[in-house]
Amino acid sequence: VRYTQLRWSRIFAENASDQLNLILRYCGIERTFETVMKVYESQALDPHVNRYRFREEWWA
C-alpha cells in the first residue's frame, strides 16, 4: 500500500499528539500543562528578531 504525501502528512498530523505522549513517556517526562507551555514558549521566540526585513516598510 502506498500513501500520497498529503495522505501521509494528514495521518501524521492527526496522530502527532499520541506520538508525542509516547515519546515523552519513554523519556520519563510527564506531559502536563506546564510542560506544554514551556515547549510553546521555547518555540514561539523569533531567532531573527533584530534581522532587517526587506518588505517591512511595504507591509507596515
Domain total of the chain: 1
CA distance 29 to 16: 17
Across the range 23-32, mean pLDDT stands at: 92
* Average pLDDT rounded to a whole number, residues 6-30: 93
> Domain limits at 11?
5-59
CA nearest to 38, candidates 57, 18, 52, 24 = 24
The predicted structure's pLDDT at residue 18: 94
pLDDT for the residue 19: 93
pTM over 0.75? The answer is: no
pLDDT confidence bin for 12, thresholds 50/70/90: very high
Q: What is the total residue count of the chain? A: 60
